[in-house]
Amino acid sequence: MLYRDEAIVLRTHKLGEADRIITLLTRQHGRVRAVAKGVRRTTSRFGSRLEPFTHVDLQLAEGRNLDTITQAETIAPFAKGLGLDYDRYTAGTVMLETADRLVTEEREPSVQQFLLLVGGLRAMTAGEHGPGQVLDSYLLRSLSVAGYAPSFEHCARCGTLPNPGAGPHRWFNPSMGGVLCATCRVPGSANPAPETVALLAALLSGDWAVVDVAHPRQLKESSGLVSAYLSWHLERGLKSMAYVER
């Protein structure tokens, strides 16, 4: 049975002498692994359309274990723009690996994760915002969609808001799910600056007016907290994160 879908190519690996297995995040069918036959030959009709970062329109044939890609048309070649900038390229690889790790069930529709990834790659390629901030915003949003939404306003443990005029809660702990009030603080909690907590909330909501004027110190501190939060919920770190300047 044939079906069509659009997808982002997450990763590829070799199969036999000329084929590849392509891991895709599709719009309607979630995470799909499919064979691209003959794609490693110079005469392949797929060309560069099935490389990581590419947004493609596909026709696939259902298989018992793996589907087979029968047609592929490029919608947006994000790799072309990202390949010109090391920081944006490495940040983009983290986005692909995050999507691969958060969408764990194959063939389970995950439209929000797909749309987030497309939007994140588009923003990364556009270059209007810093690559680190686009990445952090994407990571926080994708974690939220996966059910790990961090709290940067209410205390993650008791749910209370800070007292009026007191600024945000001053403690942050990934294992507790976000910021904590002084009463709920647990050992090992970070103590970020109030401006950093406000920046994290802006990254999650996409308030770029706040993000784009943030001080480098707050940008660095927020990136460290986002990385810690991501690592806690994925239970092991991302290989690609080692190449990103944090």
- Specify the pLDDT at position 42: 81
Tokens of 241: 């994160």
Q: With a cut of 80, say whether residue 47 has pLDDT above it.
A: no
- Specify the pLDDT at position 237: 83
Tokens of 118: 């497309």
- Specify the pLDDT at position 92: 98
Q: With a cut of 80, say whether residue 246 has pLDDT above it.
A: no
The percentage of the chain sitting over the pLDDT mark of 90, rounded to a whole number, equals 90
Q: With a cut of 80, say whether residue 195 has pLDDT above it.
A: yes
* Mean pLDDT to the nearest integer, 59-86: 94
Average pLDDT of the chain to the nearest whole number: 95
For residue 61, what is the enclosing H or E element? strand 54-61
How many whole angstroms from its chain centre is CA 88? Answer: 13
User: What's the pTM value of the predicted model, to 2 decimals?
Assistant: 0.95
* 7 beta partners: 26, 56
How many Cβ atoms from other residues are within 10 Å of residue 90's Cβ? Answer: 18
* 60 beta partners: 3, 69
Which pLDDT band, with edges at 50, 70 and 90, does 245 fall under? Answer: confident
- Specify the pLDDT at position 160: 97
